[in-house]
Structure 1
Amino acid sequence: MMRMLRENPDAAAVRIHGTNISPTAPALAACDVSEVEPYRVNNHVYAEFALDFCQRHGIDVLIPPRRLDALAGRAEDFARIGTRLMCSPPSAVDILTSKSRTYEAARAAGIPVPEWRVVRDADQLRTAVEELGREGETLCIKPAGEFSAFGFRIFDDAPLRLRDLLEAPRPLVSVTAVADALKRAADEEEKVPSFIVMPYLDGPEVSVDTLSAPGGRMVTAIPRAKDGRYRMLLDDPEPARIAGALVEHFRLSYLANVQLRRLRGRPVLLEANPRPSAGIYQTAFTGVNLPWAAVQLLLHGHPGDLPVPRLGGRIAVTETAAEVESPAAVPARH
């Protein structure tokens, strides 16, 4: 994304400031100015840090990839110091950072979602597995909050086979093991977050990167499907239609990401994020610079002249290496 901002179609000079909780975060090495941000602080403290950082550095545009709940309601505060905040409304951020509330709101809006249950203890888990597994579906479990892919497991009570040891590992777990973990946590009075139990959805996963104006008016959407190390830039209106309905319903602004998979052959919502996706750089191969268009939309009220996306292509995702400065070069924030 930083490369897309620098290699913008207007050939405008861009200076990028970045923060992270870790001084060794590789992304900081790609920034012109970097700083360590506070770790495990409440929303007010984090927002005050962000305001101070933007004021000290004269930031024009703030694009937060995390802690949206701390920043979404502070757009006017940022505006007073000359910083434009690229963020969706607080109401949308509040719902979409909870997978269970996302499914509830999306289902009410007519957006296809899978069946799901929210569980916090062993008894609720077993009930959910019994109810959702009646049609022979493979089930999975994941935290109900914003944990990315952390915590995701596929339920599998079958005994381990030799071939399982010779194949690529999968995030499998037995129902009994999860129930026992929840019970131990309760017995030890450990705080237990909510989890979602739902069918394991069929692939390929389709990720739709969207650009929308404030109020949820869709400007453009680019769907891409995963196939191992390859990504297919889909020329398919259905994922974009579902993403557009979600963007409009939640009144999402600027960059967002909607993820879909299939249940019994039909596309359903996996999750939605009111922020740019980690894979947004892949959309550059369509000829559309989404991050730069979002900046133009934020600053000037229009995204500029966008080309028609080149869809139907196939790209490979490969690794690269770059020499970076010592972590000692990144100033700490106390």
Structure 2
Amino acid sequence: MKRFGPSLYFASDKVIFDSISQRAVNVDIVRELLEERGIFVSSKTSKDELAKYFSRLTADYFDHKIIAGKLGRIAKKERFTAFDIDNLIERDQIVDAVKEMKKELDVRGDALNFDTSDPSKIIVEIAYDHIDYTKAELRQVQPRDAVIEFIKDASGKYSVRNTHNNYTDSVVEKICKFIGEASGIPVSRTTVNLQSHPEATKRTAFFEELIKGVTGHDLVTVTEAFCYKPPKGKIQDDDEDDDDERELEDSPLVERVGLRGRAVTKSLVIDGLFKTGYYIIKVIFHVKPKSSLDSDVFELEAQFSEPRDCTGFSYQTKRVLIFEEGKVTDKTRHPKAAEEAALAQLIEQAAKTAYKAVAGG
């Protein structure tokens, strides 16, 4: 049975104290909450003492909202996923489906806005609350943003790119359903997945092709590689000469292995993993644009969220390593929107090319 936490709508004195004690809530916020009640405190009073005092007071809805606003917001950057729509669909059909989705989300209290100013693209943005009952009360509501893009190619067909999580995926499914109902033909799609290629060598080869296939960029290094081996039942073997191998198989199985460092795909350790049936399901790698010798280096991530079947392909541009004085430094910056959009398209194309290479065309 799935475990749920306490009520979403009740915050006891202990909850208030525990929440204020979190690092995300600084002492200035606690002082402001007290000042609104006409209570002024010394700058020398510790945060712990202020938290104990404030938690004994009656906190209203607005107090909860201020504290939860500091605790609940998720700073984690989300990955993107994409697929191609095989049907020839009209732009108006997509817009109408998005409008239907907006009506449904308005009832839920989520805010959907869309932009059709670009004739080759429709951008949908959704502001919603993610609820997680396993968190502490004031962390249960987490404001999040979802992005869905319908992008038209030269042939007139559309591809869909969206933030990869259960909420956004369900919205995309519903929009596709509306399009299918309006056109009378279900939306057919092509995704990057290796479900029909269970061989460990092919699944690893997919990532090897992908990291080298980002057009206009050179591969610098692979900093992280995560390997997976599907669990199997106990192997029955009557050959006495294979006792050592049977003991290895009968021992507790390590399903996931993570390697970190530089050029980890060239490590002897990872070669040993491949020989025992492991395959790569996630990589973090650095690429550098070929157009300039002094350009910054981009850190990219690609993975399959369902490791057993290698489905749910997603990716992201994690950060940019700044190039200064002839070398890559430890300084980093966030990627610009234009950089992210361009790299998203290149990663998607690299994934398609890698899949074709693995699948034999």
Q: The TM-score by the shorter chain falls in which range? A: under 0.3
Higher relative contact order (CA 8 A, sep 6+): 1
Output the TM-score relative to the length of structure 2: 0.23
Q: Which has the larger radius of gyration?
A: 2
Decide which structure has greater strand share: 2
Output the TM-score relative to the length of structure 1: 0.24
